[in-house]
């Protein structure tokens, strides 16, 4: 089972604290030992100075009693070695060896080893005739001090471990609380709720998670709203031809329409069926554009030649609607990389939308221009145009259909979304904006290729 965030943070804090304790122990151990030895050496030197200050050459070593101060020193476990002027060193045998090894001829501080044991030695010369004494302290006496220091440090480090565990647990709980709220909100989103929001609190990273989840909820709500509008738009577009097909089919089946009326009914059914077929085809192509199996046959083509071919067809259709079609294209080739069939579909789709809203006597324009790096084809119309706020959403499925279907002729609601997806898939861009002729302008831009 997965552990909780609080548990993991607690373990991390404990691990970090443990590593710190181990490193501190490894570093502190020799320091403690060295410090204890240095403290003992300094203390022994101070005591030797005190003893020396109270002795003179004649008063040294009377039955190894170098005064009352020496008795106090011996009470601390320190051996006293005395050498009178011209005599031998007197005292404990091992202490004498240590003192002699350290040297009784001059003042000296140091550490010596005798029979495998280490001793701290402080020697002092008293008077001018060479009398001297030495204070000898086994270093094992320092071990008790070292153990006490280590014990105190271990207690402090153990307390630090406990504090680290408590801090890790509390921090984990505090950090996990907003994440648990985010998880609950995500579960509500998965269940279908779109009104859930997470308070943007806590550290920056946690607040970013909450903000992203809130943005996701907003995006899902907006996307589902657009999908509902799109379905309503498509349903509306389907209902009209289906009503016509159903009505005329019933008239033929009931014998109400016969002769010329039956012919007209059949023609209407055929026309509406073709309209339904185009709508279904557009829907399928729009769905396939998001799939990997959608193929494009991209090759170099002359965009100017394609525009002139399109214009020949649309001249006839515009003439039937009393619309003036103007074509502006350079005589030199305009090479771009695109799928010729799909690009023709894009231009035809834009032209059909333009012709649908262009009133009789108004112009429609195909305008091709090129720069050093790109070519732009604009399809403009002299129709009513769009509201300024509608141009940014012109290529979203069903948006313009829903806004304008009660005021002007509209298409299926997916034509502009389809052409935008096709242009984008071919590596171009499609932009919408107002046209100089008073209507809307849709501009396709492709990068130029080497001829």
Distance between CA atoms of 33 and 149, rounded to whole angstroms?
9
Per-residue pLDDT at 139: 76
- Is the pLDDT assigned to residue 431 strictly greater than 90? yes
Give the tokens for residue 69: 């101060």
- Is the pLDDT assigned to residue 236 strictly greater than 60? no
Span between the terminal Cα atoms of the chain, in Å = 63
Give pTM, 2 decimals. 0.48
Give the pairing of strands 363-370 and 131-138: unpaired
CATH number of 204-290: 1.10.287.130
CATH number of 5-145: 3.30.450.20
The Cα angle at residue 103 between residues 101 and 107, in degrees rounded to 5: 145
Residue spans per domain, the chain: 5-145, 204-290, 299-447
Phi/psi at 434 (5° precision): -70, 150
Distance between CA atoms of 164 and 423, rounded to whole angstroms?
60
Instruction: Specify whether the CB–CB gap between 374 and 335 falls below 8 A.
Output: no
Q: How many CA atoms lie within 13 A of 231 on its CB side?
A: 6
Q: Which CATH number fits domain 299-447: 3.40.50.720, 3.40.50.1820, 3.65.10.10, 3.30.565.10?
A: 3.30.565.10
* Residues 200-230: tens digit of each pLDDT: 877 777 778 888 888 888 888 877 776 676 6
Classify residue 385 as left (phi > 0), alpha (psi -120 to 50) or beta.
Answer: left
* Residues 143-161: tens digit of each pLDDT: 666 677 677 777 877 787 7
């Amino acid at each position: 089972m997965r552990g909780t965030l609080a548990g993991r943070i607690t373990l991390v804090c404990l691990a970090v604290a443990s590593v710190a304790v181990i490193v501190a122990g490894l570093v502190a151990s020799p320091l403690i030992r060295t410090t204890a030895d240095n403290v003992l050496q300094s203390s022994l030197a101070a005591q030797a100075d005190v003893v020396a200050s109270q002795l003179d050459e004649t008063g040294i070593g009377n039955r190894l009693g170098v005064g009352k101060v020496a008795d106090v020193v011996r009470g601390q476990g320190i051996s006293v070695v005395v050498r009178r002027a011209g005599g031998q060193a007197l005292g404990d045998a091992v202490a004498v060896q240590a003192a002699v090894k350290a040297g009784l001829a001059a003042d000296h501080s140091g550490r010596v080893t005798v029979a495998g044991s280490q001793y701290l030695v402080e020697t002092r010369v008293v008077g001018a005739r060479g009398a001297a004494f030495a204070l000898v302290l086994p270093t094992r006496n320092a071990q008790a001090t070292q153990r006490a220091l280590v014990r105190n440090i271990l207690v402090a480090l153990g307390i630090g471990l406990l504090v680290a565990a408590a801090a890790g647990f509390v921090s984990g709980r505090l950090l996990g609380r907003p994440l648990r709220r985010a998880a609950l909100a995500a579960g509500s989103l998965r269940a279908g709720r779109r009104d859930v929001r997470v308070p943007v609190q806590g550290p920056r990273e946690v607040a970013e998670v909450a903000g992203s989840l809130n943005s996701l909820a907003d995006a899902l709500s907006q996307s589902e709203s657009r999908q509902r509008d799109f379905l309503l738009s498509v349903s509306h577009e389907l209902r009209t031809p289906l009503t016509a097909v159903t009505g005329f089919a019933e008239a033929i089946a009931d014998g109400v329409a016969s002769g010329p009326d039956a012919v007209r009914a059949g023609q209407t059914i055929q026309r509406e069926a073709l309209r339904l077929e185009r709508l279904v085809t557009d829907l399928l192509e729009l769905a396939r554009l998001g799939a990997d199996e959608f193929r494009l046959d991209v090759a170099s083509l002359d965009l100017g030649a394609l525009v002139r071919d399109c214009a020949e067809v649309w001249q006839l259709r515009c003439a039937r609607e009393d619309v003036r079609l103007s074509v502006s294209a350079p005589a030199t080739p305009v090479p771009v990389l695109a799928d010729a069939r799909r690009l023709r579909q894009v231009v035809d789709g834009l032209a059909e939308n333009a012709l649908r809203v262009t009133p009789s006597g108004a112009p429609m324009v195909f305008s091709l221009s090129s720069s050093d790096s790109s070519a732009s084809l604009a399809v403009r119309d002299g129709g009513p145009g769009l509201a300024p706020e509608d141009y940014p959403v012109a290529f979203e499925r069903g948006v313009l259909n829903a806004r304008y279907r009660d005021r002007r002729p509209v298409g299926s609601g997916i034509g502009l979304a389809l052409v935008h997806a096709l242009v984008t898939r071919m590596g171009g861009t499609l932009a919408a904006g107002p046209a100089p002729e008073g209507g809307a302008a849709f501009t396709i831009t492709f990068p130029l290729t080497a001829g």
